[in-house]
Amino acid sequence: MRDKSEKKPITKSVRLTVEEADMIQKRAVASGLKESDYIRHRLTDTDDALTLKERVSMQNIMNAAYMALEKSGASEEAIREFEKKCGKIW
């Protein structure tokens, strides 16, 4: 159960076409989020067009690339440059 600080006291209603509602539902499912969480994320996280699921996937890919660099014997300089480029993404 959520504590009182996590409750969301305001409800907003919007009117959608059937097509818009279907699109939101499909995108929420694809992102692994509930529709309300998906809508909230899209409306409030304006600096990032990626969904949470997409962010996690991207981070996993970068982690795998980092491990591959280390295993390949890449220089410290190459690894630091990779880290710097990854940091610019976030």
Residues 66 and 83 in one domain: yes
24-60, pLDDT tens digit by residue? Answer: 999 888 888 899 988 988 888 666 667 677 877 888 8
- Collapsing DSSP to helix, strand or coil, 13 comes out as coil
User: Per the domain annotation, does 2 fall within a domain?
Assistant: no
User: Per the domain annotation, does 1 fall within a domain?
Assistant: no
**Most distant CA atoms of the chain, gap in Å:** 57
User: Per the domain annotation, does 38 fall within a domain?
Assistant: yes
Query: How far apart (Å, rounded) are the C-alpha atoms in residues 81 and 46?
Result: 28
The answer to whether 33 and 48 have CB atoms below 8 angstroms apart is: no
Query: How far apart (Å, rounded) are the C-alpha atoms in residues 53 and 31?
Result: 5
Q: Which of 20, 59, 60, 67 is nearest to 39 (CA)?
A: 20
Predicted TM-score (pTM) above 0.85: no
51-69, pLDDT tens digit by residue? Answer: 677 877 888 899 999 999 9
* Total number of domains in the chain: 2
